[in-house]
Amino acid sequence: MHEIIRLQSLSKVFPGPVVALDRVSLAIPQGEWMAVMGASGSGKSTLLNLLGCLDRPTEGQILMGGTSIGELTEAQLTGFRRETVGLIFQQFHLVPYLSAVENVMLAQYFHSLADEAEASEALARVGLADRLRHRPAQLSGGEQQRVCIARALVNQPKILLADEPTGNLDEANERVVMDIFQQLHDDGHTIVMVTHDPHVGMLADRRIELEHGRLVTIHTHDLVAAAPRTADQS
Amino acid sequence: MLPRLLWKSLRGRRSRVALAGGALAVAAALAAALLSVALDISEKVARELRAFGANITVVPRQESLEVEIGGLRYAAAAQAAYLAEVDLPKLKTIFWGHNIQGFAPFLSAPVEAGGRQVLLVGTWFDREVVLPQGPRKFSFSSGNVREPESEGSRFRTGLRAIAPWWRVRGRWVEDLPGDAMVGKAVAARLGVAPGDRVPVRASGTERTFRVTGLIETGGPEEDQLFVDLAAAQALLGLPGKVDRVQVSALVKPDDVLAMRGRRNPQGLPPEEYERWYCSPYIDAITYQIEEAIPRARAKAVRQVAEAEGAFLGRLTLTLVLVSAIAIATAGLGVMATMTTTVMERRREIGLMKAIGAEPRQIARQFLLEAALCGVAGGGLGTVIGLLLAKFIGRQVFQVPIAPSPIVVPFVLALAVLVALLGAALPTWRAARLEPATTLKGD
């Protein structure tokens, strides 16, 4: 399968120094649903931030669709993020004074042109056709997360990055959100999802586990393999 | 989307917006009020200052040296020159006749009163004067002909008009030929009080006056005896004569043109001469008085004029400084509010950047929000300020302050500028926020 992301000996060191990621190498084929697992502080969110072009690695290289992220200027990185990545957050991060449809339109506005009909359609895809005019405070946690998913999808990104998408949801809403993820996966979206919930992780095609910033195990269809420190995995 | 975003953002944060807008409204109100007052104050304050005495003295032009001590002119009797009382209404026919607020003629001479020598001063206390009628046209070498508004046919003037601040124990003389007012020192010397009679002898003629009031001024007037001008002229054998006229005129503070005109008005280029002549500088008014009254010499009481000019200058400077402080305070208020707003909206900014907003888009939104606060706060403040100016005018100067057309656009522009300057630093910080850090909530 065509490879969309390749990480080569990726490290991230924060001042301290704190080694958040330690020489992680990985390849993700297009259309794969990958779960990133590990204990708190293992480097999951740091990896997701690097993939989402929200941060830059200290060492190593990220290739996304053939583009080397490290070589982009700040403005180019913003543009690349806008075009390539859809972000889904545990905390939803919806703008409180905007309605559901306006929150989705916000992503369109920063991408190109806000289109209310298209934003409404994106919300309808996640089952919120009747909640367009509701503000975040008037929506349940599950509904807010679905608005967040619609916002991530509206610009048709190549990669969906989700940070603990069910972390703030009850079981019923978790099931609804995961059904949406399953549907997106079936439609061919590439999904990288950080989770520490094994049940959620099991839904992915592949689970990788981080420990102290290092890639320690890769689970593929119930097969468990020790991860080589520097070799690519696919 | 941007107008929608701005509208929702401002509406969603009403209390913060009200705080920033309120700070701007207060500053704009103060700026509009003080600016309106400052622009319109010169005439109002000058009018108030006129109550403190005449600023022009008109005397007869004469060749010999004349000395005046304590209000008494010392000159050889044969050489003494006088002005004609009938010429005085001409003072209101000069180009700036409208600015002549009042005038009073004087005829002074030492006389014997109650067995002692005192200075007798004849004057108009409160006189209605009939003004010469007919068109007043002023032609200039440029070909321009100017015609000031008509002054009406009657004008009430006299000592009361030019010296309303005098403290009078008893009452003012009401132009009755047999009444007199005496200075405090004279009253003490003669031992008279209001209601008493004083015999006055001069040039072999004696006349008795009834004292209506005692004058306290702290000046030479306390050593004088004031009677009606006609009575003094009869006593002194000088009918229709006056030796001095004090004039109270509304003038504007001197500027460069006034200085140049003072040295030699005829030497000014024609356009400048016309501008000088048609400006109410004190020297332009004295020049016009000398043109109107034959053999008159009009002198500016420079101390009064300069004190007025300096006072007006300081007053205007004070108003400008207070406005500047108010505006600077509002700017700090906006900055504090915007800084708090940026702190509160860190996650929102982080999210916007995470979903693709560029720093300039974040900056544009924050600056537009600030500008809208500036327009709203500035607009509200300007309306309040203009009302405040009217109130100040009525309460302080007893006249309404006329709003200047420049105040509204100037104060609005100033409010927007202050809002933008106040928002600049917080906006710069907002645009630089790292999305990865802010979304974590750090």
- Give per-residue pLDDT as tens, B201-234: 988 888 999 999 999 988 888 999 999 999 999 9
Domains in chain A, please, with CATH?
3-226 (3.40.50.300)
pLDDT in tens, B37-61: 877 776 666 666 666 678 899 999 8
Cα dihedral B307, B312, B313, B318 in deg (nearest 10):
130
Rounded alpha-carbon distances, angstroms, from residue B381 to B35, B327, B337, B374, B407? 13, 12, 18, 10, 12
* Closest chain A residue by Cα to residue B9: A97
pLDDT confidence of residue B187: 93
With CA atoms as reference, report the closest residue to B207 among B187, B238, B233, B240: B233
Q: How many CB pairs under 8 A join A and B?
A: 65
With CA atoms as reference, report the closest residue to A102 among A74, A75, A127, A136: A136
Among B120-129, B151-160, B341-350, the least confident range = B341-350
Rounded alpha-carbon distances, angstroms, from residue B370 to B19, B71, B341, B377, B417? 12, 65, 11, 10, 9
What's the DSSP call for residue B396?
A: I
Banded model confidence at residue B442, pLDDT cuts 50, 70, 90: very low
With CA atoms as reference, report the closest residue to B285 among B269, B271, B305, B300: B300
* Tokens matching residue A162: 């989700």
Look at A214 and B114; give whichever has higher pLDDT: A214
Spatial neighbors of B150 by CB under 8 A, at least 6 apart, are B136
Query: Cβ–Cβ of A93/B439 closer than 8 Å?
Result: yes
pLDDT confidence of residue A40: 86
**A48, A36 contact by CB (below 8 A):** yes
pLDDT in tens, A83-130: 899 998 888 889 999 999 999 999 999 888 889 999 999 999 888 899
Ordered by start, the domain boundaries in chain B are 2-43+310-440, 55-300
With CA atoms as reference, report the closest residue to A126 among A155, A149, A103: A149
Residue in B11, B355, B360, B432 to test binding to A, most A beta-carbons within 10 Å: B355
How far, in Å, CA of B88 to CA of B148, rounded?
Answer: 19
pLDDT in tens, B15-39: 888 888 888 898 889 888 888 887 7
How far, in Å, CA of A168 to CA of B168, rounded?
Answer: 89
* Closest chain A residue by Cα to residue B349: A95
Residue in B351, B362, B368 to test binding to A, most A beta-carbons within 10 Å: B351
What's the DSSP call for residue A202?
A: T
Query: Cβ–Cβ of B5/A106 closer than 8 Å?
Result: yes
pLDDT confidence of residue B38: 77
Element (H, E) at B131: none
Q: Are strands A214-220 and A223-226 parallel, antiparallel or unpaired?
A: antiparallel
pLDDT confidence of residue A232: 43
Banded model confidence at residue A180, pLDDT cuts 50, 70, 90: confident
Q: Is A58 helix (H, G, I), strand (E, B) or coil?
A: coil
Q: What residue type is assigned to position B147 of the chain?
A: E
pLDDT confidence of residue A229: 44
* Closest chain A residue by Cα to residue B10: A97
Banded model confidence at residue B65, pLDDT cuts 50, 70, 90: low
Q: Are strands B296-300 and B56-60 parallel, antiparallel or unpaired?
A: antiparallel
Long-range contacts of B141-144 (CB under 8 A, 24+ apart): B141/B270, B141/B273, B141/B274, B142/B270, B142/B271, B142/B274, B144/B274
Candidates B12, B350, B356; nearest CB to A110: B356
Query: Cβ–Cβ of A97/B8 closer than 8 Å?
Result: yes
**B30, B418 contact by CB (below 8 A):** no
Mean pLDDT of A40-61: 90
How far, in Å, CA of B216 to CA of B197, rounded?
Answer: 19
Query: Cβ–Cβ of B356/A79 closer than 8 Å?
Result: yes
User: pTM for this structure?
Assistant: 0.64
- Answer positive or negative: Cα dihedral of A50, A52, A55, A59: positive
Q: How far A190 CA sits from the closest chain B CA (Å)?
A: 18
**Does residue B390 have a pLDDT over 80?**
yes
pLDDT confidence of residue B89: 92
Banded model confidence at residue B306, pLDDT cuts 50, 70, 90: confident
**B432, B389 contact by CB (below 8 A):** no
